[in-house]
Structure 1
Amino acid sequence: MTETTPSKFISDTPERRNDRIRRVITHLKDGTTDSYDEISTISATEYTDPALAVAEREFVFGAVPSIVAHGSEIPTPGKFVTVEMPRNKIIVVRQKDGSVKAFVNACRHRGAMLETAKSGHCRIFSCPYHRWSYDTDGSLRTITRGDTFGDLDQTDLSLAEIPCEERHGFVWVIDRVGATIDVAGWLGEEMDTILASYDMDRYTCFRAGSFTEPVNWKLMQDAFLDGYHIQYAHPNTAGKYIHTNVSVLEDFGRHCRWIKPRKSIDRWIDEDPADRPMDKYLIETHFLGPNSTLLKQPDHIELLTFRPHPTDPGQSIFEMRVIPPKVEDTDLDEEKWTALWEKNWDILLRVLHAEDFPIMRGIQAAMQSGDVAPMYLGKNELANQIFRRELFALLEKDSQ
């Protein structure tokens, strides 16, 4: 199978899902996988060039929606998270009416950061420098000692607002004041329909973690679109349970979805599974452009997000989230529910930090060499090819 242009989406049915599973089983029998139509070359400068890093910040993250939180992280009015975006430091806060807004995290007086905590709850945002204060809707509430400061129109001194929308359980922003956000339009009918079917607004974020790594964000994103390295980078962990270099992928243009087989599926290689439920034998992975990988496990969601560092192309900010059903929607008591997701969190953290990240750090270090030869993406690295295709499309569109 060759995917070089987006495929037309047809609403999922059990029959179509079974067809994808049978294609996976056929690949396992034949030693094949879905593939791209050509090999691509990569230059080391893609991970080190400051000018390219500026273009990515401006024309990718400053132009299209990306995920910054799950809605359950800010469940009630006044709850907020702070986020380091490529262009702006922002505050994302739940409003009194239940909606979500995002603002540049800087006082309109002299620019002091209003919030330095990763998360919290507040009734107002109060500047630590001169105590100007703002309501959670961003409007200026108080100018301290205003009778001596001078006349200002407070309606013109609201916090700079970042476009923000909550959809499919996630909070999305475009990292540019004045941009217009349309998450459904960005996702397209295909991925918007798929995400809606998962009911992720009914889930809860068990834990979110943020890490700064000395690695370009594209190297990090590539690692989690790649099913080619599992056997080699994770021989004693994921490699024991997940097949390497086997996937069936649907290309939706800006985004894609693919299934990878667990080794437990091997029992069906020589036996037709018919209409048996097969979810437990698969991992369903989604690339949500421009910078997230969503893994749909049989009983929970994992979201991995990668952002450029605001100034250094040799660094990135990585966020990971484990998002299961709420305890009341399971047959577990709170203690067992917590223990289960603590275990899942620890496994994910250990595999990423002990196995993936050291390799990524080594690649970034190697990219600093003066004579790195051209590198390659194979036809079998299909999701990675789509990521690069869509990233370059955004950069080329805004350079014309």
Structure 2
Amino acid sequence: MQHATQVELLKRTLALVERGVSECVESPSALPVDLYLDEQRYRRERDEILRREPLLVARSSEIPAGHFITRDLLAPLLLTRDEQGRLRGFLNVCKHRGTQLVGDAAGRNRVFVCPYHAWAYNPDGQLRGIPHGYGFQGIDRACLNLTQVPVAERFGAVWARHSPGPALDMDAFFGEQILADFDSFALDDHVIFDPQDIRRPVNWKLTIDTFLENYHVTRAHQATIDHLFWPNLGLFERFGRHIRNYYVKRNLQEILDQPERDWNLRRHGNLLYFLWPNTLVLVEPDHIDFSTVFPDGPLATRVLGHTLLPEAPVTEKAQRYFEKNNAILYSALEEDFAMAVRVQAGIQAGASDRLWHGRFEQALRWFHQGLDEALGEERVEVLGR
């Protein structure tokens, strides 16, 4: 992040400390509980939003030239990179009878042969051969190629749409501020550490909700991270449907003894980005954590997480250091999941028809308003409107 931006944000944070309040919007808001329960709403979120937006599905480094990977997320994906470095994305589905084409998680490119009737495809998605092809005379072979989905690479990551559509314009998707922030992190050269695949029995939106406010930290994270953070103090900004939060650490006032040229935002708090529609990025002092949240059903969540390090640990001490950091991170995440399970049970009990967002929980409002806007609804209720 540009140093001028860091200084601006830290000055805003110091002003909040002086007043003793977090950043707030003008009024509280409310959300109907059926948005976490209704199967039709879940299907619309999956089919009309998540399957149509660019989602983070891999790190670019996971697909070297001449290799492929598969991902079974909101749709089965096959991602291939040719020897010249060109990346392509397909639905991992044979056009004959709809069989999953490639069962391997990764490997070198080859002719992909369907395990059902042995239809064969090249890594560029072109149909190569049909056993006893005379039985399919009259069919335009072009419509039998693999179904292509748009893919793009940005910030050292692969972003894919889970359905056919136009090419991805990642500059327009992220916007100027997010691009500036993430370009400054130089993520292309980072390495993956400690990938995670977590499934829990809660609505996917509850998982995202827990990241978007720090009101709960004092109570819910007493055993893990509460001692690090200033109680319920933060900055909240949105850029289109993306959100940037800054959660302030108790060591903030150390900067009062430093010249501005030495101020470092990452030392005195955690940046938390919500990248629409389902990726959360936690920027810590010396590493960055990614969590991409997928619905696994109306009442089920799958989180694919990984940590990015500037370089791979080269000593046992460095390895233990980052392992300890991630142990704290995922312990806190388990505390959040435990709370989300209690919320899920609570709203299913029918005690209330709505949930409330305080004035300092505005990022939750923005997330749910983004979903409403994408679906052409207006379910978030803002008091005073």
Whether these two folds match at TM > 0.5 is yes
Deviations 1:133-175 (CA, angstroms, capped at 9, x unpaired): 2222211223234356656543331111111111121111222
Secondary structure of the corresponding residue to residue 232 of structure 2: coil
2:346 to 337, 358, 366: 366
Count of residues paired in the alignment: 378
User: Which 4+ residue blocks in structure 1 deviate beyond 6 angstroms?
Assistant: none
1:383 to 341, 346, 363: 363
Question: Corresponding residue for 1:24?
Answer: 13
Conserved in 1, the CA contact under 8 Å of 2:80 and 2:109?
no
Going from structure 1 to structure 2, the CA distance change for 1:112 and 1:210 (only over 3 Å counts) comes to: same
Secondary structure of the corresponding residue to residue 130 of structure 1: coil
Conserved in 2, the CA contact under 8 Å of 1:70 and 1:170?
yes
CA distance in 2, matches of 1:340, 1:121: 34
Q: Which moved more, 1:187-196 or 1:91-100?
A: 91-100
1:123 to 107, 110, 119: 110
Question: Corresponding residue for 2:150?
Answer: 163
Going from structure 1 to structure 2, the CA distance change for 1:378 and 1:334 (only over 3 Å counts) comes to: same
CA distance in 2, matches of 1:94, 1:211: 27
Q: Does 1:60 align with 2:42?
A: no
Going from structure 1 to structure 2, the CA distance change for 1:372 and 1:169 (only over 3 Å counts) comes to: same
Conserved in 2, the CA contact under 8 Å of 1:246 and 1:261?
yes
Going from structure 1 to structure 2, the CA distance change for 1:55 and 1:153 (only over 3 Å counts) comes to: same
The alpha-carbon deviation at position 13 of structure 1 amounts to 4.3
Structure 2, unpaired ranges of 5+: 379-385
The alpha-carbon deviation at position 95 of structure 1 amounts to 3.0
Conserved in 2, the CA contact under 8 Å of 1:74 and 1:81?
no
**Aligned residue identity for 1:346:** A
Q: Does 1:352 align with 2:333?
A: yes
Question: Corresponding residue for 2:242?
Answer: 255
Question: Corresponding residue for 1:238?
Answer: 225
Secondary structure of the corresponding residue to residue 23 of structure 1: helix
The alpha-carbon deviation at position 381 of structure 1 amounts to 0.9
TM-score by length of 2: 0.90
Deviations 1:3-32 (CA, angstroms, capped at 9, x unpaired): xxxxxxxxx642332121122123223221
CA distance in 1, matches of 2:321, 2:115: 40
The alpha-carbon deviation at position 201 of structure 1 amounts to 1.1
Question: Corresponding residue for 1:333?
Answer: 314
Q: Does 1:141 align with 2:121?
A: no
**Aligned residue identity for 1:321:** H
Deviations 1:253-283 (CA, angstroms, capped at 9, x unpaired): 2112232222222444x65653323232221
Q: Does 1:224 align with 2:211?
A: yes
CA distance in 2, matches of 1:393, 1:42: 14
Question: Corresponding residue for 1:289?
Answer: 276
Identity over aligned residues, as a percent?
29
CA distance in 2, matches of 1:276, 1:249: 24
Going from structure 1 to structure 2, the CA distance change for 1:369 and 1:360 (only over 3 Å counts) comes to: same
Secondary structure of the corresponding residue to residue 365 of structure 2: helix
Deviations 1:210-269 (CA, angstroms, capped at 9, x unpaired): 22221111111111112111111111211121223111233212112232222222444x
Secondary structure of the corresponding residue to residue 283 of structure 1: strand
Conserved in 2, the CA contact under 8 Å of 1:47 and 1:218?
yes
Going from structure 1 to structure 2, the CA distance change for 1:274 and 1:181 (only over 3 Å counts) comes to: closer
**Aligned residue identity for 2:144:** L
Conserved in 1, the CA contact under 8 Å of 2:34 and 2:353?
no
Secondary structure of the corresponding residue to residue 244 of structure 1: strand
Question: Corresponding residue for 1:277?
Answer: 263
Secondary structure of the corresponding residue to residue 69 of structure 1: strand
CA distance in 2, matches of 1:143, 1:325: 47
**Aligned residue identity for 1:316:** T
TM-score by length of 1: 0.86
Secondary structure of the corresponding residue to residue 384 of structure 1: helix
CA distance in 1, matches of 2:36, 2:84: 43
The alpha-carbon deviation at position 290 of structure 1 amounts to 1.0
Going from structure 1 to structure 2, the CA distance change for 1:318 and 1:185 (only over 3 Å counts) comes to: same
CA distance in 1, matches of 2:56, 2:149: 13
Bigger strand fraction: 2
CA distance in 2, matches of 1:76, 1:297: 31
2:4 to 7, 12, 15: 15
CA distance in 2, matches of 1:301, 1:124: 37
Deviations 1:18-65 (CA, angstroms, capped at 9, x unpaired): 121122123223221111222111111000111211221222113322
Structure 1, unpaired ranges of 5+: 1-11
Deviations 1:165-205 (CA, angstroms, capped at 9, x unpaired): 11121111222213442121111122122222221111122
Question: Corresponding residue for 1:313?
Answer: 298
**Aligned residue identity for 2:269:** L
Secondary structure of the corresponding residue to residue 165 of structure 1: strand
Q: Considering only aligned residues, what root-mean-square deviation do their CA atoms show, in Å?
A: 2.5
CA distance in 2, matches of 1:334, 1:99: 35
Question: Corresponding residue for 1:394?
Answer: 374
Conserved in 2, the CA contact under 8 Å of 1:287 and 1:383?
no
Conserved in 2, the CA contact under 8 Å of 1:83 and 1:118?
no
